[in-house]
Structure 1
Amino acid sequence: MDIKLPKKSSKLFQSTSNYLEFSHYGWGDIDSQFYGYIKGYKESADTLVEFALNSQRISVLDTYIFPVLFLYRQFIELSIKSLYLEYSDIPMEDKIQTIKSAGHNLMRMWNGLKPTLVDASFSEDEKGLINAVESYILQYHSFDKSSFKFRYPIDKESNPLLKDEERIDIANLKERMTELDNFFGGADGKLGHLQENKYEQEEYLREIEAEMKAEYEAEMRAEFESEMRDAMD
């Protein structure tokens, strides 16, 4: 059996002319790139869950869980940050500062986004849904507060991050993450629609204001010219 080993001349990252063998990233604006990251993390986790379940092998179920839990957490974190950056009404410099100070803290980021979602909620059912989403996010935050728990087996002081044995129903987790994905997608659509309507209303008001100003200035010029003619007569 030919066992392949690293070669000094080999490159890790290179392009290829085969269209179905290369991955293309870095294209589009920030919104497009957020979408790519979010979709990639969520669907990669889904794929790993499906593979692990279909394998019916304990060795797969007990090892794939680490990337699954990390990927789902990244999906949640980036979904919240994307909506916050796009739709929060506070100045961009304040939003950037909030993200910097929050780091990977899911609840701090959620608390930044939540007022925007509440303001866009027009029924008790919608507000109840926001509370349900908050419950999911709080559960994940409590489960892995710093995002390190499923990236490393130890912390910076070499203490184990997983102190007790646990069992997680990954089929259930996948369903709950799909529910979150549906919520985030719906929120994006609704907030985008409201933002567009707000922009159109503001544009309309600016046009009305400009027309009124132009009419007023025209009247003032006409009045001034009339007074000048009277004075000359």
Structure 2
Amino acid sequence: MFKKAKTNHHPNVINLANEIMDTHFAYTAGFYEAAKILGERMLNEKYQASRDRLAYPFLFLYRHHLELYLKNILQKIKEFKEEGIVSSSKGCIPDSLYKELSNLQDHNLYQLFELMEKALPYVQDLKEDDLNYLREIKKMIKAMHDIDKSGQKFRYPANNNGKLFFSKEQSYELKTMVETITKVHSKLTSIYDSLDKCLESMCEYHNQHME
């Protein structure tokens, strides 16, 4: 299966740990793109007969993307503390919060989002529009969290005791799901990019004045 390629520049070749691509970005973007492609195909009448089978990998890919993106944002916030950058009126990230940001082993989407809410004011002065923006995303994250709190329900049909995760039929609008994927991804990207640009400019300013 894993036959070594002779070159990394070929239409028939994939590159793990691509040297010109950030690995964290590759994972996060990859799960998002896979979910989006699968969701859009499921909307096609051609795949109607297989929608209910594809629903599980589709939702797993999407949920895992959310988890990875939230953790990427939290890691980016953590870097402000590590670089000694103070970019908000609240001052430096407290040690207790830094400790929380350094322990992101949980798969609980809602807790990860609440940690992001808690940490953001230490790196950005949030306005009312920003808070409304976060509330909107939070509702969407909560919806996914409520249906799968552990990140296991779309990976396996049953828990360790053999009890089915979904024992009764539940019906949801696929088009709404696909649209929500795009919307939440866009909003999380906006947050991440804002933090990344701020950190980069603050580090550059700091380094210039240290010379």
TM exceeding 0.5: yes
2:56 is equivalent to residue 53 of structure 1: no
Aligned equivalent of 2:25? 35
Amino acid at match of 2:132: G
Are the structure 2 counterparts of residues 193 and 160 from structure 1 closer, same or farther at C-alpha, using a change threshold of 3 Å? Answer: same
Are the structure 2 counterparts of residues 121 and 169 from structure 1 closer, same or farther at C-alpha, using a change threshold of 3 Å? Answer: farther
Aligned equivalent of 1:111? 114
Distance 1:201 1:62 in 2: 53
Task: For residue 102 of structure 2, give the secondary structure of its aligned residue in structure 1.
Answer: helix
Distance 2:157 2:66 in 1: 22
Aligned equivalent of 2:140? 136
Q: TM-score, normalised by structure 1?
A: 0.74
Question: How many correspondences in the alignment?
Answer: 192
* Contact residue 121 and residue 127 of structure 1 kept, 8 A: no
Task: For residue 78 of structure 1, give the secondary structure of its aligned residue in structure 2.
Answer: helix
2:81 is equivalent to residue 81 of structure 1: no
Give the CA deviation at 1:52.
1.5
Aligned equivalent of 2:13? 22
| More displaced 10-residue stretch of structure 1: 62-71 or 197-206 | 197-206
Are the structure 2 counterparts of residues 96 and 77 from structure 1 closer, same or farther at C-alpha, using a change threshold of 3 Å? Answer: same
Give deviations 1:171-224, integer Å, cap 9, x for gaps.
1111111111111111122112222333244445545xxxxxxxxxxxxxxxxx
* Contact residue 42 and residue 75 of structure 1 kept, 8 A: yes
Distance 1:111 1:57 in 2: 37
Q: Give the fraction of aligned pairs with identical amino acids, expressed as a percent.
A: 22
* Contact residue 77 and residue 120 of structure 2 kept, 8 A: no
Task: For residue 162 of structure 1, give the secondary structure of its aligned residue in structure 2.
Answer: coil
Distance 2:129 2:47 in 1: 41
Distance 2:171 2:197 in 1: 41
| More displaced 10-residue stretch of structure 1: 48-57 or 68-77 | 48-57
Which residues of structure 2 form unaligned runs of 5+? 82-92
Aligned equivalent of 1:214? none
Are the structure 2 counterparts of residues 147 and 194 from structure 1 closer, same or farther at C-alpha, using a change threshold of 3 Å? Answer: same
Relative contact order higher in (CA < 8 Å, ≥ 6 apart): 2
Larger Rg: 1
Amino acid at match of 1:149: K
Aligned equivalent of 2:179? 175
1:1-233 aligned within 5 A? 12-17=1-6, 19-28=10-19, 32-88=22-78, 89=81, 94-97=100-103, 99-100=104-105, 103-119=106-122, 120-203=124-207, 206=210
| More displaced 10-residue stretch of structure 1: 189-198 or 73-82 | 189-198
Give the CA deviation at 1:60.
1.3
Amino acid at match of 1:110: F
Q: What is the CA RMSD across the aligned residues, in angstroms?
A: 2.3
Amino acid at match of 2:5: T
Aligned equivalent of 1:219? none
Task: For residue 22 of structure 2, give the secondary structure of its aligned residue in structure 1.
Answer: helix
Task: For residue 113 of structure 1, give the secondary structure of its aligned residue in structure 2.
Answer: helix
Distance 2:45 2:61 in 1: 20
Which residues of structure 1 form unaligned runs of 5+? 1-11, 208-233
Are the structure 2 counterparts of residues 195 and 57 from structure 1 closer, same or farther at C-alpha, using a change threshold of 3 Å? Answer: closer
